[in-house]
Amino acid sequence: MGSNVSSNDTASMMSTKIVIAGGFGAGKTTLVGSVSEIPPVTTEAVMTEASRAHDDTSATPQKVTTTVAMDFGRLTLDRELIMYMFGTPGQARFWFMWDDLVRGAVGAVIVVDSRRLADCFDAVDYFEKNQNIPYVIALNKFDGQLEYTPDEIREALEISPDVPIIDFDARDRRSSGNVLKRLLEYTLSRPKSAELVG
């Protein structure tokens, strides 16, 4: 890291983010580690959740604080553009946290362990309902072979027809990098609409 970065260079830097979601042990941390230029950092995020609408009678809004681990990695894409990757637990009970993490993301990768499809139901459901974040499915073939074909997986998980399903090996840098490329290509191919800000 140069210490003589002029303030002009610094001021023109921009950042962007993608989210890596998926089931327990699916390979999220491995994916981030394969592509990141820094060792993947696992950080504890303390998140505050406004309480959901319960049917309790007290009118006082409650806040719940939870500590969760998230991984992040970094890629310098050109002199002025950095992309961050945020890996996040996939279970529905962390959805409140996804809202924070997903806000402003250019896209998401759902890592799927092809032997345990059910583990990523929650993640797929979340992104199918949040249509403004494009996502791709990255199928981690743990034993070098897929239990299901991509078509079977699309049907089983009720994934929209246009969502790319990509085979990959999370331990392999190029294979993981290819997933990121496909995500950006997909993001760029989607029609843009100004009302999707949010």
Partner 1 sequence: MVQTLVSTADPGTEPPNNLMPESQNIYRLCREARSVAEIAAELKIPLGVTQVLLSDLADQGLVYIHPTITGHSPSENQVLERALRGLERLFQ
Q: Which of 18, 153, 170, 180 binds ligand GTP (CB under 6 A)?
A: 170
Q: Is the Cβ of residue 100 or residue 147 nearer to partner 1 in the bound state?
A: 100
8 A C-beta contact, residue 30 and residue 22: no
The footprint of ligand GTP on residues 82-141 (CB under 6 A) is 140
The span of 26-34, 100-108, 129-137, 156-164 binding ligand GTP (CB under 6 A) equals 26-34
- How far apart are the C-alpha atoms of 170 and 157, rounded to whole Å? 21
Q: Which is nearer to ligand GTP, 24 or 190 (CB)?
A: 24
**Closer residue to ligand GTP, CB minimum distance, 122 or 169:** 169
3-class DSSP state of 104? coil
Examine residue 176 and tell whether it contacts Mg ion (CB under 5 A). Answer: no
Asked if 169 interacts with ligand GTP (CB under 6 A), we say: yes
Total Cβ atoms within 10 A of residue 23: 23
Among the listed residues 18, 30, 124, 134, the single contact to ligand GTP using CB under 6 A: 30
Among 22, 29, 168, 169, binds Mg ion (CB under 5 A): 29
Query: Residues touching ligand GTP: how many (CB under 6 A)?
Result: 13
CB pairs under 8 A, 24+ apart, for 76-84? 76/37, 79/9, 80/9, 80/12, 80/13, 80/14, 81/13, 81/14, 81/15, 81/16, 82/13, 82/14, 82/15, 82/16, 83/15, 83/16, 83/17, 83/18, 83/180, 84/15, 84/16, 84/17, 84/18
**Residue 171 contacts ligand GTP per CB under 6 A:** yes
Number of Cβ within a 10 Å radius of residue 39: 9
Q: Which residues bind partner 1 (CB under 8 A)?
A: 1, 3, 5, 7, 10-11, 13-17, 35, 41, 43-48, 72, 74-78, 81-84, 86, 100-101, 103-107, 132, 173-174, 177-178, 180-181, 184-185, 187-188, 192, 194, 196-198
Taking the complex as a whole, how short is the minimal distance between the CB of residue 121 and partner 1, in angstroms?
A: 25
| Range list of β-strands (E), the chain | 14-22, 41-50, 63-78, 81-87, 107-113, 135-140, 165-168
The residues of the shown chain that bind ligand GTP, judged by CB under 6 A, are 22, 24-30, 140, 142, 169-171
